[in-house]
Amino acid sequence: MSERVEDTEVLYRRVIFDPLCFEVVGDKIVVTSTAFNDRHKQPSVDRAKLCNAEPAYTQGADKRAGVVSLITEEVRSISLQSGGETPQTYIVDVVADPVGPDHPHLVENPAHAEIRADPSISSKGVFQRLRRSLALLAQKRGWLILPDENR
């Protein structure tokens, strides 16, 4: 079983250099919900304390990418419900998911964690609301590393 991610932990999210992931609004660079897209509806983050609180660790080899941060407690406080006749309530969590050296597809990353919901999100609409909430939280904290041409 993985170590629990504490409420006070800072999380880093890499924002790929793609105009869909951020936009210029006035004199600000705003992270969009697209920055939190994930095909499994479980956005990946890095636990700052396990990467020496160094955003460049999360940025990785693509130095054009940006990095934003979140606080675990704020992520867990996101309220999600589905629509319809019998609304489903989702509990949002941050779960440690370290990637070992033997993983067939991913680079080793002991700081890796995922933002997951219980029950698992299958609806595009519910996932879109989660992504919007994450983008708002990240925007509130600001950029740690701006995307390339905006530095």
pLDDT of residue 3: 85
Domain of residue 72: give its range. Answer: 10-150
pLDDT digits (tens, 9 = 90+) for 35-48: 999 999 999 999 99
pLDDT at 101 over 90: no
pLDDT at 139 over 60: yes
* Number of structural domains in the chain: 1
**DSSP code, position 87:** P
pLDDT at 78 over 90: yes
Confidence of residue 115 (pLDDT cuts 50, 70, 90): very high
Residue 77 inside a domain? The answer is yes
Entry field: residues in the chain: 151
pLDDT digits (tens, 9 = 90+) for 5-24: 999 999 999 999 999 999 98
pLDDT of residue 151: 55
Query: How confident is the prediction for the chain on average, in pLDDT?
Result: 93
pLDDT of residue 150: 63
Residues contacting 75, CB < 8 A, separation 6+: 11, 92, 93, 94, 115, 134, 137
Quick one: average pLDDT of 100-117?
90
Residue 3 inside a domain? The answer is no
Residue 4 inside a domain? The answer is no
Residue 24 inside a domain? The answer is yes
pLDDT at 67 over 60: yes
Quick one: average pLDDT of 111-128?
96
Residue 107 inside a domain? The answer is yes
Residues contacting 130, CB < 8 A, separation 6+: 36, 41, 78, 80, 90, 92, 115, 117, 121
